[in-house]
A = this chain, B = another copy of it.
């Protein structure tokens, strides 16, 4: 670790004080953190360990605070100033450790009454983090090799109904879809190791179904088993999947924590499919929490080979601009690598391929459709084919409707899903 390495955090700050004052409070809270001078707090100590305000970019102020509880200074003019504030932290304060990084760059800052809004917009991490965290072992290249698909997105679906299928019913569904040619399937995030369908029975039924289909088609479906659970279960569940011939494990990252993800990545032998349910809690307020730009870096350090990003025109609140930003963030190299595949899902079907390709200009993603593939009027195989055709058209610059004219699976998909 170099002595001069620093972490730079960029915050969106909203405050009834001046931005300079708010920035100084943020930097001070995260180095000395008490309300009255204490012995031992020397200038030398502050120089060695203090956080430093590196820059402030002022934005339009607001007339009212976004979050409650800010205490304006006396003589407050009623304005809540907003700006992007860059603060640097000496790495030697905490070392290249995600858990301790978070206590420093987030910590108590969200609770400061000098602020009416705080959002961690970006994190610039020094090279020591790359030495400490190996990151994804598979990424796009390793995942493609396992599914044997190279020139288009990996196309797949989510088990539906998400809850309630017995292991036997699940096995039958998987075999049918694997025979239909799908590349990928995943458990729903609601369904990991429930009493009504224990993971062990699910793994057996699914891996046998996948092998039977592979014998027939010559290709092996990748199935992401949801192994979310307590720390001790992660190893047990992972080993069960790998021992049974499974080729992917899925976790709800916010359920096991980034520490749980990094732990899994220490011994995982198959790609880790990172689901981000609960993420909305950290990001939906525009003046609180974190941006996905910052969060996805931590997920990649901790080992997410695949990472969910929502989809264009999804059922969720997120704007398409925000989804595009997330996809592009995942596609931006970190430390020259740390490759993750963005996973695009929610209300997806063939009709969302063109816009997704325009956003990414690459096919290194997973494109998942639940109903948008399985409920195709001619069945799942046609649903899968419709998405393959849509991506073919997108990459070749052919309009969707034009391609549909000569391809019935695509035309039927447009008839069913294109009216919304």
- B255-A99 in contact (CB<8A): yes
Of the four ranges (under 10, 10 to 19, 20 to 34, 35 or more), the interface on chain A belongs to 35 or more
Given A40-B165, A371-B34, also A281-B193 (CB < 8 A): no
Instruction: Indicate if the CB atoms of A162 and B33 lie closer than 8 Å.
Output: yes
A146 at interface by CB-CB < 8 Å: no
Check: A77 CB closer than 8 A to any chain B CB. no
Count of chain copies: 2
Chain A 160-195 interface residues, beta-carbon cutoff 8 Å to B: 160-165, 169, 173, 188-195
Instruction: Evaluate contact between B190 and A94: CB separation under 8 angstroms.
Output: yes
Residues of chain B with a CB closer than 8 A to A407's CB? none
B-contacting 9-mer, from A258-266, A356-364, A384-392? A258-266
Asked if B111 and A318 make an inter-chain contact with CB atoms under 8 angstroms apart, the answer reads yes
The segment from A54-62, A101-109, A215-223, A241-249 that touches chain B is A101-109
Given contacts A190-B94, A231-B231, A255-B259, contact A35 B371 (CB under 8 A): yes
**Which of A39, A93, A113, A278 neighbours the largest number of chain B CB atoms within 10 Å of its CB?**
A278
CB of A286 closer than 8 Å to a CB of B: yes
Query: Is A329 positioned at the interface, with any CB of B under 8 Å from its CB?
Result: no
Residue pair B317, A113 in contact (C-beta under 8 Å): yes
Is A36 an interface residue, CB under 8 A from the partner? yes
Chain A 102-132 near chain B by CB (<8 Å), digits 1 or 0 = 1110111111110100000000000000000
Is A289 on the interface with B (CB-CB < 8 A)?
A: yes
Please tell me if A85 contacts chain B, counting CB pairs below 8 Å: no
Given contacts A40-B173, A93-B194, A192-B94, contact A99 B228 (CB under 8 A): yes
Of A41-49, A134-142, A202-210, the segment with at least 4 beta carbons within 8 Å of chain B is A41-49
Mostly helix, strand, loop or mixed at chain A's interface? loop
Docked complex Cα distance between A374 and B36 (Å): 10
Task: Please tell me if the beta carbons of B103 and A189 are within 8 angstroms of each other in the complex.
Answer: yes
* A254 interface hit (Cβ, 8 Å): yes
Q: A103-B190, A259-B256 are in contact. Are A229 and B97 (CB under 8 A)?
A: yes
* CA of A107 to CA of B316, assembled, Å: 12
Could you tell me the distance between the alpha carbons of A39 and B115 in the complex, rounded to whole angstroms?
50
Give A141-158 as 1s and 0s: 1 = Cβ < 8 Å from B's Cβ atoms: 000000000000000001
User: Which of the candidate stretches A67-75, A331-339, A397-405 sits at the interface with the other chain?
Assistant: A67-75
Contact A104 B173 (CB under 8 A): no
Given contacts A100-B229, A160-B34, A263-B230, is CB(A69)–CB(B319) below 8 Å? yes
Are A260 and B277 touching (Cβ within 8 A)? no
Once the chains bind, are B99 and A256 in contact (CB under 8 Å)?
Answer: yes
How far is B317's CA from A108's CA once the two chains are assembled, in angstroms? 11
Within 8 Å by CB of A110, from B1, B41, B278, lies B278
Q: Among B36, B93, B163, B254, which residue has its beta carbon within 8 angstroms of that of A32?
A: B163
- Give the CA-CA distance A232 to B267 in the complex, in Å: 12
A401 to B260, CA, bound (A): 51
- The answer to whether B111 touches A317, judged by C-beta atoms less than 8 angstroms apart, is yes
Residues of B within 8 A of A310 (CB): 111
Please, which residues of chain B bring their CB within 8 A of the CB of A318?
A: 69, 111
**Contact yes or no, B374 A252, CB < 8 A:** no
CB distance from A43 to the nearest CB of B (A): 11
How far, in Å, is A201 (CB) from chain B's closest CB?
14
- The smallest beta-carbon distance between A210 and chain B, in angstroms, is 19
Ranked nearest first, the 10 interchain pairs of A and B with the lowest CB-CB distance are: A257-B257, A69-B317, A110-B280, A36-B371, A99-B255, A111-B280, A231-B263, A111-B316, A45-B164, A38-B160
18 contacts between A and B (CB under 8 A): A38-B374, A45-B163, A49-B161, A69-B317, A69-B318, A98-B230, A100-B192, A102-B254, A110-B278, A110-B281, A111-B279, A111-B284, A111-B317, A112-B317, A115-B317, A230-B262, A232-B266, A256-B257
**B-contacting residues of A (Cβ < 8 Å)?**
1, 30-41, 45, 48-49, 67-71, 92-95, 97-100, 102-104, 106-113, 115, 158, 160-165, 169, 173, 188-196, 228-232, 252, 254-260, 262-263, 266, 277-282, 284-286, 288-290, 310, 315-319, 347, 370-372, 374-375
